[in-house]
Structure formats: structure tokens, C-alpha cells
Amino acid sequence: MRTLTLLVAFLLLAPQASYAFIDVGTFTESLDLMEQELSGDETGLNSLLEDLESAAEESGASDNYLTFKRSGEDITFWDVEKSAWFYSSILSLVELGIVSGKEDNSGKIIGYDPGGNVSRPAALKMSLLSAGVDTDACGTPERKDAREHWAASFVACSEKMDLGLGGRTLNASATRAEVLHYTLKAFEIEAPEGNPPFSDSTSHEYKNDIAYGYALGIISGDKKSDGTPKGTFRPNDSVNRAEVAKIVKLAIEKL
């Protein structure tokens, strides 16, 4: 729910504003009271969200978040602050039309969800679009479970270009190594034989991609709390939407 995000953003950026439904001095109590009063009232909740969004826009709150136009409409990713490490990566992909954001049940874009896991179809989409592949020309996927899928064209391209999806579960989360492999293959790069500088990746299926990605500066591996290299990459861990945006942006710049 975006209620808390909008409310916090508004209160932080416009603390002097006065609204009948907000008591800044007792924020927690006010929020609890609103939740009780609006419990089960979808119409009232939507009305509150609209009021908060309008108030935030009037106060200039959206200036601190990623805001762009689409079809003449101003859209704000309330979960992508300009101070965030992933801001420039997501901005670049938005401008290139590679990502569009997350939608609520009504179809309204509510944010980017930078901490959310990336599914294999979504990873394929971002990799292929970043490489400029004409995904409309790939035809119908061979996989039966992908033919009616929203990512049918991307799966078809992955099969045609041998990106590595194979028989893997379609809607599962992509791993860190998979995203890197998809991206390099989408750019038609066959990584040369190499040894990654990560102790957990030297015998991995995609060790060549990991070594090549590291050499190019597309990935850097894990860091300790003091910022020094940890010597690991966690190739089989899931990857979030912010991390994928960074990998794809760097691939566009370096490949």
C-alpha cells in the first residue's frame, strides 16, 4: 500500500501544512485512527490517497522523487528518491522505455518496487530491450506455458537467441548470474573462458559471464561493511529490481 509512503513523504517535506485528517504532532495515533476509520472502506481509502497525492504535488514533494511524463501524464515513483544509489539507473531505463513501473489493481502506476525480486520473464524483457532487440520479430515461443504469457515475445527471443532460459520454471525469480548471462547474450556476447574473482563462482555454470562482467565493471561483487571486497557474488541468489536496473544500465554503457 502506498498510503504510508505518500503520507511520510508529505509530512517530511511539508511539515507546516494543516489538514483535518493529519495531526503531525501525534503521527502514529493519527495513522492508527485513520486505519480504523477507513477499515473496509475502499472508497474512503482511495479518496484519502488522492488527497495525499494532490497535497504532496502542491508542496513540491515529488521534486525529491523520480518523476516523468508518459502520454502527457506526470508519473512519480514514490519509492525512488533522488538520493538513492539506484536513482540514475532507473531514470535511464525509464527514459529508454525499458521499464514502466509497478501497477496497482486499477492499473495505476504506483512506483518501481526497487527491492522486489525480478522474475525470469521480466529479466529477459529488460535484457532484450536494453540490447535493442526487435522482440516483435521473434514469433511464437516453443514453450507451451509461454504462448499466452505477457512475456511471450521475450521468451520467443530468448529461445531464438539461446539466452539460457531452457526448461527452467518460467515465473520463478531470476538469479544474479542468470540476469548477467541474459544481458550478455542479448548483446550477442559469448563470454570468453575466465575465472571470476569470487570464491562462490569459480565452478558456476555461468562463471565465464561472471568473470567477463567483472572485468567490464558491470558487476563488482559483495562488499563488507567498510566497503572493501568480500570476495563473493552469490550467483544463485535472487536479484532485486534496483540491482537489475544497475546491471542493465552499465551493460548499455559498456557493451
**What pLDDT is stored for residue 20 in this prediction?**
41
**What pLDDT is stored for residue 108 in this prediction?**
83
**What pLDDT is stored for residue 70 in this prediction?**
83
**What pLDDT is stored for residue 60 in this prediction?**
57
DSSP string, the chain: --HHHHHHHHHHH-TT--BTTB-GGGHHHHHHHHHHHHTT-HHHHHHHHHHHHHHHHHHTGGGGEEEEEETTEEEEEEEEETTSTTHHHHHHHHHTTS---EE-TTS-EEE--TTSB-BHHHHHHHHHHHTT--GGGS---S-GGGTTSTTHHHHHHHHHTT-S-TTS-TTSBPBHHHHHHHHHHHTT--PPS---S-TTTTTSTTHHHHHHHHHHTS----B-TTS-B-S---TTSB-BHHHHHHHHHHHHHH-
Pair (178, 222) in one structural domain: yes
Pair (227, 157) in one structural domain: yes
**What pLDDT is stored for residue 104 in this prediction?**
82
| Among the listed residues 87, 161, 79, the one whose alpha carbon sits nearest the alpha carbon of residue 127 | 161
Q: What is the mean pLDDT of residues 80-97?
A: 95
Please write the tens of the pLDDT for every residue from 129-146: 999 999 999 999 999 999
Q: What is the mean pLDDT of residues 122-131?
A: 97
CB atoms closer than 10 angstroms to residue 127: 31
| Among the listed residues 226, 225, 221, the one whose alpha carbon sits nearest the alpha carbon of residue 243 | 221
State the residue range of the domain holding 39: 3-59
What is the domain count for the chain? 3
What the block records as the C-alpha cell of 189 is 556476447
Please write the tens of the pLDDT for every residue from 1-50: 444 544 444 444 444 443 344 444 444 455 455 555 545 555 555 555 55
Q: Is the pLDDT of residue 68 over 50?
A: yes
Pair (137, 186) in one structural domain: yes
CB atoms closer than 10 angstroms to residue 202: 12
Pair (183, 202) in one structural domain: yes
**What pLDDT is stored for residue 103 in this prediction?**
84
Q: What is the mean pLDDT of residues 125-130?
A: 97
Pair (89, 199) in one structural domain: no
**What pLDDT is stored for residue 71 in this prediction?**
81
Pair (101, 133) in one structural domain: no
Pair (81, 20) in one structural domain: no
CA angle 53-55-57, nearest 5°? 70
Pair (78, 139) in one structural domain: no
Pair (91, 184) in one structural domain: no
Pair (126, 247) in one structural domain: yes
Please write the tens of the pLDDT for every residue from 149-205: 999 999 999 999 999 999 999 999 999 999 999 999 999 999 999 999 999 999 999
Please write the tens of the pLDDT for every residue from 233-251: 999 999 999 999 999 999 9
> Within 13 Å, how many C-alpha atoms sit on residue 69's CB side?
3
What the block records as the C-alpha cell of 61 is 514533494
